[in-house]
């Protein structure tokens, strides 16, 4: 082979960068290979609309990374290389109903409950306390290979702390829906209105099994760290990782696609990228979906037939994502002025409307009243726009990949592809939802750019059919069964080949968990993840 590395990483999504950083920092020679011209996967910033307006393409908010083991261990070195977070001191999120009623959440739980029904205030604080008592161990479990001795020890610790009765209740909570959490814990509708849209950010509807625990975790994380954003745009996150990897002798190569993984016997030994063979002495890490890994990258016969079958049957969500980015001549001036400083405002009529829009999208229809996620990044980081201006980040998570109709009967979907006309018509439906709630809309509207499900897939092949979570997150395809039912681990059936990314446990979100799990597995082996992590914490940083 013309070149040799210790480890080759396919794809520069944040988990690929995290894995490469750990491995390079430990002294291994690492090469990350990225098909796009810039690294980062779904972490990117661009001037999509007008010069001087920086928009986060794809993801934007980093609470999960701020809470991650990777940030705890790598944070100081990343900050030395330019990573700076802008924090949310008070308000975090809000929901506005069609009638204008708004409910807000704050970093301070006690301030948050002031807006709730009087009967629900103590119940909500109790839920937060109860969740807080387990979050340290649960967080460690979500950052550990489930098929490992370390996970068994953590599970035993959690079970002993909870006891049999509380332990059974905890398991039931994990499997329950968000709607169940709202209806069995609280009397008023405020908490359901506030957090039902957040179920979508976990990749599942509020009626889906498992969404209740996920929403509870989101509520806790918002209180813990708010909604931080990277100063100047999320690309600063990527650049800091690139510098960290390079300072330890690694390399991130962009604009080159990996065509195939090379195998010898039952082991992965390298890749072919851009027509060039690159050997991997220790490991190949695929930051890809299972359908890519088993359907395109691995040669026939390299993996067991059952693994290939399961990999090709990996399911993607029937609900795609879409984004709309808008340059604003001035910040939004909400009719409820409390919303002017809220980083993320949802427009929805609560759990019923969120569930209905999910069902319409899954049925192939443009939702009549989609749940609109209005992000106001310049509230947290004014540097992203010229003085006096702002940017708006709209995310939609209930869009059909190939529309067969319109639930409102107003938009002609044509042949079911996202033409420019269809994209414009649906964009207008979405942004018109702002008008009843924003005093200066549409006067402040500047240039806009919409990324349809098809465009998201074109930009990133991991977003199959516009699935922004790189795989359906329903209960049967998570935890032990992600990425594959019989191979639910980051260690693949091919020796020396590992998989990380949103398609693997613990799933989507900027949590850095799977990249860290894979790196520590390569460094420490079975049963030695904690010792490897301890070793890495003690390493001195290289030059900044």
What is the DSSP secondary-structure string of 299-344? PTTSS-HHHHHHHHT----SSEEEEEEEEESS---BSSGGGGG-SE
Q: Give the 3-state secondary structure percentages of the chain, helix then strand then coil, rounded to 5.
A: 40, 20, 40
DSSP string covering 121-144: HHHHHHHHHHHHHHHHHHHHHHTS
Q: Which of 463, 366, 472, 507 is nearest to 57 (CA)?
A: 463
Q: Is 518 a domain residue?
A: yes
Q: Is 514 a domain residue?
A: yes
Neighbours of 119 (CB within 10 A): 10
Residue 539 pLDDT: 42
Neighbours of 541 (CB within 10 A): 15
Structural domains of the chain, count: 1
Alpha-carbon gap, residue 479 to 412, rounded angstroms: 40
| H/E stretch holding 166 | helix 149-175
Q: Which of 17, 7, 521 is nearest to 244 (CA)?
A: 17
State the greatest distance between any 2 C-alpha atoms of the chain, in Å, as a whole number: 70
Contact 54, 391 (CB under 8 A): yes
Dig out the tokens for 242 from the structure: 């690139």
Could you tell me the CATH number of the domain that includes residue 33?
A: 3.50.50.60
Q: Is 185 a domain residue?
A: no
Q: Which of 367, 364, 458, 360 is nearest to 416 (CA)?
A: 364
Neighbouring C-alpha atoms within 13 Å toward the C-beta of 223: 20
β-pairing verdict for 365-366 and 320-328: unpaired
Q: What letter would DSSP give residue 108?
A: S
Q: Is 266 a domain residue?
A: yes
Contact 499, 290 (CB under 8 A): yes
Contact 66, 220 (CB under 8 A): no
Residue 530 pLDDT: 40
Dig out the tokens for 19 from the structure: 């894995």
Contact 375, 61 (CB under 8 A): yes
Report phi then psi at 27, rounded to 5: 100, 5
Contact 520, 529 (CB under 8 A): yes
Q: Which domain holds residue 237?
A: 3-85+232-314+471-538
Alpha-carbon gap, residue 430 to 368, rounded angstroms: 10
Q: For the segment 195-252, what is each residue's pLDDT rounded down to a tens digit?
A: 999 999 999 999 999 999 899 999 999 999 999 999 999 999 999 999 999 999 999 9
Q: Classify residue 157 by burial, with Cβ atoms within 10 Å: 0-12, 13-18, 19+.
A: middle
Q: Classify residue 305 by burial, with Cβ atoms within 10 Å: 0-12, 13-18, 19+.
A: exposed
Helix 178-185, helix 211-225: angle, nearest 10: 80
pLDDT in tens, the chain (544 residues): 578 999 999 999 999 999 999 999 999 999 999 999 999 999 999 999 999 999 999 999 999 999 999 999 999 999 999 999 999 989 999 999 999 999 999 999 999 999 999 999 999 999 999 888 887 888 888 888 888 888 888 888 887 877 888 778 888 888 899 999 999 999 999 999 999 999 999 999 999 999 998 999 999 999 999 999 999 999 999 999 999 999 999 999 999 999 999 999 999 999 999 999 999 999 999 999 999 999 999 999 999 999 999 999 999 999 999 999 999 999 999 999 999 999 999 999 999 999 999 999 999 999 999 999 999 999 999 999 999 999 999 999 999 999 999 999 999 999 999 999 999 999 999 999 999 999 999 999 999 999 999 999 999 999 999 999 999 999 999 999 999 999 878 999 999 999 999 999 999 999 999 999 999 999 985 434 444 444 444 443 333 3
Alpha-carbon gap, residue 11 to 17, rounded angstroms: 8
Report phi then psi at 257, rounded to 5: -100, 135
Q: Is 437 a domain residue?
A: no
Q: How many residues does the chain have?
A: 544
Contact 116, 124 (CB under 8 A): yes
Q: Is 513 a domain residue?
A: yes
Dig out the tokens for 417 from the structure: 């592809």
Q: Hey, is 259 helix, strand or coil?
A: strand
Dig out the tokens for 73 from the structure: 């261990």
Q: Is 44 a domain residue?
A: yes
Kindly give, in sequence order, each residue whose CB lies less than 8 Å from that of residue 313, ignoring residues fewer than 6 positions away: none
Q: Is 408 a domain residue?
A: no
Note the pTM of the prediction, 2 decimals.
Answer: 0.93
User: Nearest-5° angle of CA 499, CA 521, CA 486?
Assistant: 50
Report phi then psi at 161, rounded to 5: -70, -35
Alpha-carbon gap, residue 248 to 12, rounded angstroms: 17
Q: Which of 52, 39, 31 is nearest to 387 (CA)?
A: 52
């Amino acid at each position: 082979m013309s070149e040799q590395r210790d480890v080759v990483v396919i794809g520069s999504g944040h988990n690929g960068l995290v894995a490469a950083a750990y491995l390079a920092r430990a002294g291994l020679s690492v090469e990350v290979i990225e098909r796009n011209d810039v690294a980062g996967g779904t972490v990117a910033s661009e001037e999509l609309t007008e010069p001087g307006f920086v928009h986060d393409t794809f993801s934007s908010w980093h609470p999960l990374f701020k809470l991650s083991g990777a940030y705890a261990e790598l944070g100081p070195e990343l900050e030395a290389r330019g990573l700076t977070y802008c924090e949310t001191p008070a308000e975090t999120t809000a929901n506005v109903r069609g009638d204008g009623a708004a409910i807000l959440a704050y970093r301070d739980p006690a301030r948050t409950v002031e807006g709730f029904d009087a009967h629900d205030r103590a119940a909500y604080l109790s839920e937060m306390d109860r969740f807080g008592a387990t979050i340290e161990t649960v967080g460690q479990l979500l950052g550990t290979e489930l098929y490992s001795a370390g996970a068994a020890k953590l599970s035993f610790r959690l079970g002993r702390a909870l006891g049999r009765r509380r332990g059974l209740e905890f398991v039931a909570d994990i499997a329950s829906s968000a709607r169940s959490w709202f209806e069995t814990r609280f009397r008023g509708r405020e908490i359901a209105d506030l957090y039902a849209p957040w179920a979508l950010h976990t990749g599942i509807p509020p009626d889906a099994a498992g969404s209740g625990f996920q929403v509870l975790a989101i509520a806790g994380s918002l209180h813990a760290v708010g909604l931080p954003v990277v100063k100047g745009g999320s690309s600063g996150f990527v650049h800091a990782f690139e510098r960290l990897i390079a300072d330890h002798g690694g390399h991130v190569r962009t604009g080159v696609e990996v065509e195939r993984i090379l195998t010898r016997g039952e082991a992965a030994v390298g890749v072919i990228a851009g027509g060039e063979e690159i050997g991997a002495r220790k490991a190949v890490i695929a930051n890809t979906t299972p359908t890519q890994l088993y359907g395109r990258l691995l040669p026939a016969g390299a993996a067991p037939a059952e693994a290939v079958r399961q990999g090709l049957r990996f399911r993607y969500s029937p609900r795609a994502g879409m984004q709309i980015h808008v340059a604003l001549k001035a910040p939004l001036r909400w009719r409820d002025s409390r919303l002017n400083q809220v980083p993320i405002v949802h427009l929805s009529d609560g759990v019923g409307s969120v569930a209905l829009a999910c069902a319409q999208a899954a049925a192939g229809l443009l939702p009549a009243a989609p749940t609109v996620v209005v992000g106001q990044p310049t509230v947290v980081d004014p540097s992203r726009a010229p003085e006096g201006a702002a940017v708006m980040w709209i995310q939609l998570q209930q869009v059909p990949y190939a529309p067969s109709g319109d639930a409102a009967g107003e938009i002609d979907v044509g042949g079911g592809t996202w033409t420019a006309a269809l994209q414009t018509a649906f964009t207008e439906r979405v942004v018109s939802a702002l008008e009843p709630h924003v005093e200066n809309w549409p006067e402040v509207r500047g240039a806009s750019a919409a990324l349809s499900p098809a465009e998201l897939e074109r930009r990133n092949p991991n977003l199959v059919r516009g699935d922004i979570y790189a795989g359906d997150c329903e209960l049967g395809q998570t935890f032990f069964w992600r990425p594959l039912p019989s191979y639910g681990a980051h260690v693949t059936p091919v020796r020396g080949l590992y998989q990380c990314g949103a398609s693997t446990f613990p799933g989507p979100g900027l949590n850095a968990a799977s990249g860290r799990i894979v790196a520590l597995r390569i460094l420490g082996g079975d049963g030695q993840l904690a010792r490897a992590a301890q070793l890495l914490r003690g390493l001195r940083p290289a030059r900044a």
